[in-house]
């Protein structure tokens, strides 16, 4: 048995509000498997396929209780062995395996059971601010998954704990996911103003045909549910009128200006943020902001204050603002006027 750990704060640098972020592993941990030690292993045929045309099926032997495989695990002819059937053939004598190999046979029986089956426990601990609000879940890994069992708990602003096993929990794995390569997830989380859940959902997979209970989401944002999402809307108040944008370099461009009342708010709520917006476009190929006429701006919008609208000078002010904005762009790009 041996262990190792990584201090992620030391390796990747500190994060605000995180006191501890450490990964840890206990390797080569002896597996108890009390029942198998008392009664002996329970050999059954395990494997995969046939999956599709041209894909070869494979069969080997595993213990139905603890998931430990003999060494070698065997390579049985798929034609004669069903997945899950008890394996009784007395073919695991070392002399037999050796003989089969020497003959170059493509199938051979399983070897002896390992003396001291071992597994791994690992995890990751964060003390401090992580993300979201809350999440808790477990994953049952399918055969072939890196982690047999894994689970996590994350509570803002206290931290998070992730744990996983390799080998440990194989009994549960064999009971719950006897076939296939799809791990299953049970999880509930509260993040981004919503409760989400997964109930025996396929890991990293989602399908339109999944039953309703398999995954779901309930929004906690009551304001949004009642009044709708916050968004911009516009109403034309004046224009279009023509104006002239005089650039600092001396060139002048005709533009078409439209005054709009801009509203930022929820559709079903009276309260909103109002402002004035002048939408502009130029019909003559745009105003260049880079040397040699590259990067021509053909339209955009600027905002003007209430006073400019009250004094009916919004169009003049808008032209000055457009000239200033594009002048800044030209300065940034190192614009040189064409001769």
Task: Determine the interface stretch with Zn ion among 28-36, 229-237, 240-248, 316-324 (rule: CB under 5 A).
Answer: 28-36
Q: Which is nearer to Zn ion, 41 or 187 (CB)?
A: 41
Examine residue 245 and tell whether it contacts Zn ion (CB under 5 A). Answer: no
Dihedral sign for Cα 181, 186, 190, 193, please: positive
d(Cα 31, Cα 168) in Å, to the nearest integer?
Answer: 7
User: Which are the contacts of 185, defined by CB distance < 8 A and separation ≥ 6?
Assistant: 137, 138, 139, 198, 200, 201, 202, 203
Interface region with Zn ion, contact rule CB under 5 A, candidates 53-61, 66-74, 256-264, 303-311: 66-74
Nearer to Zn ion, 65 or 164 (CB): 65
**Number of neighbouring beta carbons within 10 Å of residue 113:** 18
Rounded to 5°, angle at Cα 171 from 116 and 205: 120
Residue whose CB is less far from Zn ion, 34 or 222: 34
| Residue 66 beta carbon to Zn ion: minimum distance, rounded to whole angstroms | 3
Does position 41 bind Zn ion by CB under 5 A? yes
Residue 61 interacts with Zn ion (CB under 5 A): yes or no: no
Query: Taking CB under 5 A as the rule, does residue 36 contact Zn ion?
Result: yes
Other CB atoms within a 10 A radius of the CB of residue 264 amount to 12
Joined together, the tokens standing for residue 197 give 């859940």
Nearer to Zn ion, 17 or 84 (CB): 84
Of 41-49, 102-110, 151-159, 254-262, which segment contacts Zn ion by CB under 5 A? 41-49
Three-state DSSP at 169 gives coil
Q: Which is nearer to Zn ion, 41 or 184 (CB)?
A: 41
When the beta carbons of 29 and 63 are compared against Zn ion, the nearer one is 63
Asked whether position 170 contacts Zn ion by CB under 5 A, the answer is: no
Member of 65, 164, 184, 330 binding Zn ion (CB under 5 A)? 65
* Residue that the structure tokens 């292993």 belong to: 41
Judged by CB under 5 A, which of 29, 66, 78, 302 binds Zn ion?
A: 66
Say which residues have a Cβ less than 8 Å from residue 136's Cβ, sequence separation at least 6.
Answer: 151, 152, 153, 154, 187, 188, 189
Positions touching Zn ion (CB under 5 A) are 36, 41, 63, 65-66
């Amino acid at each position: 048995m041996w262990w190792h750990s990584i201090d992620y704060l030391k390796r990747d640098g500190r994060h605000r509000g995180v006191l501890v972020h450490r990964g840890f592993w206990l390797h080569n941990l002896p597996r108890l498997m009390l029942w198998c030690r008392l009664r002996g292993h329970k050999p059954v045929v395990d494997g995969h396929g046939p999956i599709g045309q041209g894909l070869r099926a494979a069969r080997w032997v595993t213990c139905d209780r603890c998931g430990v495989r003999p060494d070698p695990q065997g390579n049985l002819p798929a034609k004669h062995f069903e997945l899950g059937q008890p394996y009784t053939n007395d073919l695991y004598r070392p002399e037999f395996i050796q003989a089969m190999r020497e003959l170059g046979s493509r199938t051979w029986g399983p070897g002896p059971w390992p003396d001291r089956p071992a597994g791994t426990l690992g995890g990751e601990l964060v003390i401090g601010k992580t993300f979201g609000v809350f999440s808790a879940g477990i994953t049952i890994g399918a055969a072939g998954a890196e982690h047999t069992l894994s689970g996590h708990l994350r509570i803002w602003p206290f931290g998070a704990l992730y744990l996983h096993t390799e080998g440990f929990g194989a009994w549960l794995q064999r009971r719950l996911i006897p076939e296939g390569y799809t791990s299953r997830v049970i999880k509930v989380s509260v993040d981004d103003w919503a409760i989400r859940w997964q109930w025996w959902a396929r890991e990293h997979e989602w399908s339109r045909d999944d039953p309703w209970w398999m995954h779901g989401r309930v929004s906690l944002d009551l304001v949004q549910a009642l009044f709708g999402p916050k968004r911009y809307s516009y109403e034309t108040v004046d224009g279009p009128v023509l104006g002239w944008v005089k650039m600092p370099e001396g060139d002048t461009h005709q533009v078409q200006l439209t005054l709009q009342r801009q509203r930022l708010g929820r559709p079903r709520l009276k309260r909103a943020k109002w402002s004035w917006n002048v939408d502009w476009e130029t019909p003559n190929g745009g105003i260049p902001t880079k040397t040699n006429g590259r990067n021509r701006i053909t339209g955009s919008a600027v905002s003007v204050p209430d006073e400019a609208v009250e004094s009916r000078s919004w169009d003049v002010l808008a032209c000055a603002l457009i000239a200033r904005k594009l002048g800044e762009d030209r300065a940034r790009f190192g614009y040189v006027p064409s001769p």
